[in-house]
Amino acid sequence: MDNASPTPKKPLVVAQAGIGYWGPNILRNLVANGRCRVKTAVDFSEERRHFVAKLYPAVATTADFAEVLADPEIDAVVLATPASTHCELALRCLAAGKHILVEKPFATSVEEVDRIAAAARQAGRVAMAAHTFIFNDAVRYLKQLIASGELGEVRYIYSQRLNLGRIRPDVDALWNFAPHDVSIIQYLLGDPEPVSVTRQGMAYVQPGIEDVVFLHVVYPGKVMAHVHVSWLDPHKVRQMTVVGTKKMAVYDDVAENKIEIYDKGIEPKAVLGQRMDFDQPPGPQQFTHRSGDILIPQISFREPIKVEIDHFFDCILEGTPCLTGTDHAREVVRILSAAKS
């Protein structure tokens, strides 16, 4: 019997394009991941290239994205560039045989998502959207709560993602913030197709770029979702509430206790009758208000970017079905694109 240990898999060779606002968090997790070797970081800014060279001397830096595409050793590319560049860069990566992990928003239109999906199928490569909150342990716990039936049937969901700054010149508050909330809601509900999508927003600081947006989505079965996003708010809020027929749950990403479950609800009061059912009384219908315990579950928390990157590598190396592949990305982009004032 051969007792020799299996030969360890060769680490993936990875490049990252874009080391701006969110890029350093991605790069830090890539460098720390033993399943890959970060070979190259791409950024037009000399200052950002110096930043990378100082922190990670083993990572080569360049301003020329074509160098990454031409490097046969590089297996995968993480795109953390402006949204308007995602489609073009993603298609170039796939044509060069590279797997891709693309920061949100994955693309700026459904047509762009479809082009990327077709190119990924043709190349036999993974195209994954970096919808990081799907890999948040608190969000996954909330998903389990809904799937188990503990909350009952979902009636509606509402979320707030607010802050004072950082104002973007390239996308509005909806496309900057709401991909997070829409991807979470789609994940929680099982990626349903909406019945209708509407939005109401206003541009105050920059003409044509809305600073505050209210997004309203109606799903089959009378399920509603409401998303409020703004970068002109005095408070930093990252909160989502799920109201079910049995219980309600609040997910607060900035709180110490990420999930709180409320045993609260309103139900019709049973009327004494022949069948002990909800017979209609002569007068107005009466209701019972239930206000029970508040449960704060203990959740073992991991950094979501780390979990996300490991999932990306699982998809490449193990063929694991991608949680945030082009199908999921398409629904998120479709909802954002369909939102009409």
- Pair (125, 157) in one structural domain: no
DSSP assignments along 219-238, one per residue: ETTTEEEEEEEESEEEEEEE
Does residue 336 belong to any structural domain of this protein?
no
Q: Which domain holds residue 259?
A: 137-302
119 confidence band (pLDDT: 50, 70, 90): very high
* pLDDT for residue 78 is more than 50: yes
Mean pLDDT of 185-207: 96
**Domain assignment present for 214:** yes
Comparing 270 with 3, which gets the higher pLDDT? 270
Query: CA dihedral defined by 19, 21, 23, 27, rounded to 10 degrees?
Result: 100
Q: What pLDDT is stored for residue 5 in this prediction?
A: 43
pLDDT at 79: 98
Examine the domain organization and report whether 154 and 265 are in the same domain.
yes
Question: Do 196 and 281 reside in the same domain of the chain?
Answer: yes
Is residue 128 within 8 A of residue 322, CB to CB? The reply is: yes
Which residue do the tokens 């709401």 mark?
178
Return phi, psi of residue 285, to 5°.
-60, 135
Amino acid identity of residue 147, one-letter, is A
- Residue 18: how many other CB atoms lie within 10 Å: 25
Residues 6+ away with beta carbon under 8 Å from 340: 197, 198, 199
- CATH code (residue 116): 3.40.50.720
Strands across the sheet containing 232-244:
196-202, 212-219, 223-230, 154-164, 232-244, 248-252, 259-268, 287-295
**Domain match, 262 and 200 both:** yes
Reported as a single tens digit per residue, the pLDDT across 258-293 is 999 999 877 776 665 545 555 555 566 677 777 778
Domains: count for the chain? 2
Burial letters 206-241, b for 16+ CB under 10 A, else e: eeebbbbbbbbbbbeeebbbbbbbbbebeeebbbbb
Average pLDDT over residues 204-224: 97
Classify residue 180: in a domain, yes or no.
yes
Q: Is 7 within a domain?
A: no
- Do 250 and 175 lie in a common domain? yes
For residues 255 and 143, membership in a common domain is answered with yes
The pTM for the full model equals 0.90
Q: What is the mean pLDDT of residues 3-10?
A: 55
- Does residue 30 lie within any of the structural domains? yes
Residues 270 and 156 in one domain: yes
Residue 286 sits in the same domain as residue 311: no
Q: Any idea what the Cα angle at residue 81 is, between residues 326 and 126, rounded to 5°?
A: 30
pLDDT above 80 for 95: yes
Share of residues in the chain with pLDDT > 90 (%): 85
Question: In which band, very low, low, confident or very high, does the pLDDT at 165 lie, cut at 50, 70 and 90?
Answer: confident
Question: pLDDT at residue 213 above 90?
Answer: yes
The answer, yes or no, to whether residue 137 has pLDDT greater than 70, is yes
Residue 160 lies in a domain: yes
pLDDT(235) > 90: yes
pLDDT at 3: 47
List the CATH number of the domain containing 141. Answer: 3.30.360.10
Residue 3 domain-assigned? no
- Considering the domain architecture, whether residues 84 and 155 belong to the same structural domain is answered as no
Give the chain's mean pLDDT: 92
Angle at 192 between CA 210 and CA 106, to 5 degrees: 45
The answer, yes or no, to whether residue 152 has pLDDT greater than 50, is yes
Q: Are residues 176 and 124 in the same domain?
A: no
Has residue 341 been placed in a domain? no
Q: Tell me: pLDDT of 131 over 60.
A: yes
Co-location of 313 and 244 in the same domain: no
> Are residues 88 and 172 located together in one domain of the fold?
no
